[in-house]
Structures are given as structure tokens and as C-alpha cells.
Structure 1
Amino acid sequence: MKRLSLVCFLLICIFTCAPAVFAGDTASYYTQQLDNRNGLSNSAVNSLFLDSDKLLWAATWDGLNMYDGTAFHVFNYSKDNPLHSIGNNVVLQVTEDGQRRIWLSTIEGVSRYDKQTGKFYNYFYGRQQRSRISEQEYRLIADTAGQLYCLSRQEGLTRYNAATDSFVVCPLPAGNNRISKAVFDSANHLWVLRGDGSLEIYADWQAQWPLLQRYTNVQALFSVNGRIFFTTAAHELMAVSGGTHQAQLQALLPHAVNAMTIYNQHYLLAWVTQGFGEYDAQFRPTHLLPEATRQLQDMKIISWASGSNEQVLWCGTDGNGIIKIYPQTKYFGTVNKITGGRRF
């Protein structure tokens, strides 16, 4: 009887402590919330990035965070230790170049992190004028070879030169408005979205950037799974055909889009206001994550990150930290213990 009672007690503990499980189209999924109670420096996330070592980086309004699967490692500004310090605590973006160097942009400049030495290298921080805290002054992009570029209002488009450890100007043709976003496609063509809604496509840079095509009335630009997508002011989702620059209508959306990703062959679109929509490969509305849709409908999603090997989806939110979504692999699941954590 004692052994039976112990077994029953253990089963009750497992079901009580396990993360929430919900059924999708073909599998069940767990969800877990990670925020400042779990060690995240700030629950307002500006962007997420999963690097080549499968480490998750979170840019927040108060520091850079690296999550190794069990704990958060936080990097903050320190004037007393600049070699081991980011340039500013308001971190807006994180990315990686072809040499596996971690790059981040802040409201005041750009920083590079060397994972081997733990040192930071800061760029553009000598400016006299500072941007308003709500603006994203510096935007980082990498081409198909991993070459890093930086876009800023004052310097324009610059290219990182590792030999001189500096950024070299390689200007784009003058546009009618400031650049709000830019991405490279699989052919190494540069797509530039300006604040006036014009989307410009440029050929690979040699001595200049030849203009290939232009679209108008574009609202948002995304690079997902090797494909280029953009949305229009009429909430049309357009996809670019492979090998061309011709855009085709995929769906009429109910809201403007803030972020976009693909997960388990489904497209997830985060709305600018709050919540997200789910679409299959043909962009028909679907319900891969019905419970997550209900639970996240009141949250504003800023960024997605996913890794194909572990099938984990990371969701960065504005004020609710990071939401981890992952498939059930065992009957009882796997419980990750995180001090002070909350699961839903």
C-alpha cells in the first residue's frame, strides 16, 4: 500500500507541475512563459535571434540577454568595464555574421560580441546627436555570404570591413524617404523599404547598387524561409516568386502585420495590435496552435525565432517576456525547472 500511495503521489505531482498541453493539427504542444521573474532583464522584448550555436538572444529595453536553455545571461552597459560591456542598455536588434560574430544595435550605436573572449567592440558611439528612444537609428543586415551591413540615417548604408575593423560607406541611390527596413534575398539582391511606402530592389553591390524594380504602397517587409514577403496598405500579403521580382497575392489579411515566421510548415503572422494568425502552406487560415492563439490574443508579439532541429518556437512580446512553444515528445512531457517560472 505504501508503494501504491507513493506512485499515486508522484503521478499527481507530474500532472500538476507539467507545462500546459494543447492539441494542434497533428501534435500536442507545451507553452512556457519566461520573463523578468525567470531572469530576463526586461519583459519588453524588441527582437529575438537564434544563433548558429542554438543560443537564444533577446534584445530588450534594458539589456542584452542570452538564454542557454536553463538560464539567462544578461549583458548591460558599464562605463567602468567597456571591453565587457554593450554600448547602451536599450538594445533593439541582434544578428550574426558569416564568422559567427554576434552583432547588436542599440539606440546609440552598434556593438559586436566575441563569444570566445567575452569582449564587446562598439561602433558609431562617437556621435554628438542622439536619437529619440522610440526610434531605431541603426539596422543590421547580412547578405547570403554573411557579410554584415549597417543602415543608419546619418551614415546611410555601410559595410563592415574586418581587416580594418570599421564600417565603410557604400551608399544607395538617394530615395524620397528614410529607410525603415532592408533584407537580402536568396539571389543576394537588396530589398529596401522606405518610410513613404516605396519598396526598391537593388542588384548585388559592386561599385554601385543598380535598381531592378520598385513597388509602392508597401507597409511591411519580411524574409521568411528564403522567400520575400511584403504587405500593402490594403492588408494584402504578397510573395515574390523564386528567381524573379514578380509579386503574387497570397492572402487578404484582417490586420497589419508586425512579424512573420514559418513553423511546422505553417505561417504565423503577428498582428501590429495584438495576437497572431495561422496559415497553411497555401495561406489558408488554419489552427495549428489553437490554444496558443487564445492565450496570446491579448499580447503584442514583436518577434519570432525558431530552430528546425528542436522544433521550438520562441515568441518575443511587448511586456510579457518570451513565450516558448514546443511539441510534446513524451506522454508525460519534459519539465524544465526555471526558478520563479510560470507556465500557462
Structure 2
Amino acid sequence: MKFYYWVILSIIGSFFYINPLIAYNLRQISSLDGLSNSSVICLSQDSRRFLWIGTYDGLNMYDGRTIRVYKPDINNQNSLSGNVIRNILETDDNYLWISTKWGMNKFSQKENRIEEYYIEFKDDAFMDQDKKGNLYIWNRKDMISFYDKQKNRFISLPINEVKETSDFVNFIIDSNDTIHIFRNGIIERYTVDLRIPQHPQITRHANFEHPVPFKHIFKNKKNIFLVDERGDLYVNNSGNYRLITNILYLMNQNGGIISSIIQDEKDILIGFLMGGLLRLDSHRN
């Protein structure tokens, strides 16, 4: 299998050197096209295949032709609580959960507005949902929060406390409803018993083992993407991990810090904090 890379978004308006032996096409979308900020923090593709782009100054919705920008508005109580967008998640009830520096926002795609705020989830609040659409949030070292849909409230679940964490952490739920907490290069695993939804019970399991520490881990729909210290990119979509390719060269060329990885049909989009967005396309021999 051969892999071809090309830059489809040069968000900071820069052109990157790419090995001439690698075929690529270049397309640029910048602030001139309506993008609110040059630094991409997170990406999410909704059920309509619209791309939501979280930046350091606003939320952007890209429909393939135009960009719509969402920002806080002191005159609109249904606007975002903050302009720094940390994370975006679509739940199966047509809501977007948007994590900002100043709290969590529940955004109705039908009404195109924020319907609920949770200011207790500030800064880095990681979130995911299980197969039944139950929402979980992790933003404290010793606690996971479960969203009770019936009462519109969060229930706290205690977990193993780690005092020191690495610069990059993440929180995902796999296709078997196992919670993965990534910190200090390792992956902790938990499951939650929801037979009594108002009184969920959490259980810790053995850590996931890998020969070298992981640097990044992301989830998009049913796929989990992992990048280890060697730059090897893996995907897990059925409980098994498969090596895709090594992206160390791309990481070095684009600032090294990956902000998001998502899959668009057969292609993989890799967002860099200071280097825009790259498309990884595979073609069979």
C-alpha cells in the first residue's frame, strides 16, 4: 500500500516543504475565506459531514463552500461561553457538546444555539460517548462525570488519581464501551455499569501495554488513532490495533504537535497545532 500526502488546509497561510518524491496537491483556506483564527485546536465532522473547526478564537463550521463562525456575544445568552474551543463532540440526539476555556456548552444543531452551560468544566475538559449515546467528561485527575439525560445533570465517578501528568492527555471510549484515559504515555482503562443509571458504578482494568510510550491518541466515530514516540500511526476500530504508516517526517515538518486526527471516508485528516491540516490518502498498488 502506498501513501500520498498533501496539504489541504494551510491555516496559518504558510507553504510547507514536502519531499518531491511524494505526490501532493495544495489547497489553502485562510482568514481571507472566513476562518476565525490560524491555530486549529480540534476538529469534528458531524452526521451531515460538515466540518467543525475549533480554534483559539472561535468555532468554525465549514460546509465545503463557506465558513460560519461562532463566538461569544455578551448580548446573546445563547452564544458560546468562551472563544477558545478545546473540544467538540456530536451526540446521537443532534447536539454538539463544545468545550471552551470558560465552560462546557450544549449546542442544539436544530435551533442553532447554546441551550445549556456547565461552567464547572473549564479549560481542558475531555469528553466522549458510549454506544448508547451516554456522555462522559473527564477534567479532574480523580473524577469522571456522567451526564444524566433525564435530569440534565452530571454524576461524579471516582478514578485513580495521578498527581503529575504529561503535556498531552486524552479521554476516549472504544466500541466495547471501555473508557481509555491517556496520560504520562500510558492508557488506563475503565468500564461503567449503568444497570441503575442514577447510580453508575465504575471499575478499573489493567493498563493497555505498548512497546514505547504513546504521544497522541484520538477518536473519530468508531476509530481510535494513536501515534507513539517513534511516529508510528495506528488505528483501532474493532479492538485490534493496525499500523497505518510512520508520520514522524510530517510531524517534524509541521511543528510536532498534533491537535486532531479524524477520518473522512477512506482518507485520514491530521491537524497540527501550528501547521494546518494534512490529508493522508491511501491507494492500493
**Which residue number in structure 2 is paired with residue 147 of structure 1?**
134
* Structure 1 unaligned spans of 5+: 1-21, 252-265, 277-295, 328-344
**Which residue number in structure 2 is paired with residue 307 of structure 1?**
264
1:194-237 Cα deviation digits (max 9, x unpaired): 34x44221234333222221247743353567465656667777
Q: d(CA) in 2 for partners of 1:29 and 1:236? A: 21
Structure-to-structure mapping, 1:14-163, within 5 angstroms: 30-83=25-78, 85-125=79-119, 136-153=123-140, 156-163=143-150
| TM-score (structure 1 length as normaliser) | 0.61
Root-mean-square deviation (CA, aligned residues, Å) is 3.7
**Which residue number in structure 1 is paired with residue 4 of structure 2?**
none
1:163-216 Cα deviation digits (max 9, x unpaired): 2222222x1333234673221111111111234x44221234333222221247
**Which residue number in structure 1 is paired with residue 250 of structure 2?**
275
Q: d(CA) in 2 for partners of 1:123 and 1:114? A: 12
Contact 1:42 1:62 in 2 (8 A): yes
Q: d(CA) in 2 for partners of 1:235 and 1:320? A: 16
Residues 1:318 and 2:273 aligned together: yes
Percent of pairs identical after alignment? 23
SS in structure 2 opposite 1:203? strand
Q: d(CA) in 1 for partners of 2:139 and 2:108? A: 23
Question: Using a 3 Å threshold, how does the CA distance of structure 1 residues 38 and 325 change in structure 2: closer, same or farther?
Answer: farther
Q: d(CA) in 2 for partners of 1:30 and 1:93? A: 29
Report the CA distance between 1:61 and its aligned residue: 0.1
Relative to its length, the structure with more strand (as a share) is: 2
Residues 1:199 and 2:192 aligned together: no
Q: d(CA) in 2 for partners of 1:161 and 1:24? A: 53
* Structure 2 unaligned spans of 5+: 1-18, 195-199
Contact 1:42 1:60 in 2 (8 A): yes
Structure with bigger gyration radius? 1
SS in structure 2 opposite 1:210? strand
Q: d(CA) in 2 for partners of 1:243 and 1:154? A: 26
SS in structure 1 opposite 2:188? strand
1:294-323 Cα deviation digits (max 9, x unpaired): xx9345552233321xx5654433345445
SS in structure 1 opposite 2:105? strand
- The count of aligned residue pairs is 252
Question: Using a 3 Å threshold, how does the CA distance of structure 1 residues 56 and 178 change in structure 2: closer, same or farther?
Answer: farther
Residues 1:219 and 2:208 aligned together: no
Report the CA distance between 1:100 and its aligned residue: 2.3
Relative to its length, the structure with more helix (as a share) is: 1
**Which residue number in structure 2 is paired with residue 6 of structure 1?**
none
Q: d(CA) in 2 for partners of 1:241 and 1:321? A: 26
**Which residue number in structure 1 is paired with residue 3 of structure 2?**
none
Report the CA distance between 1:155 and its aligned residue: 8.3
**Which residue number in structure 1 is paired with residue 177 of structure 2?**
188
**Which residue number in structure 2 is paired with residue 209 of structure 1?**
202
SS in structure 2 opposite 1:32? coil
Please point out which of 248, 253, 272 is paired with 1:297: 253
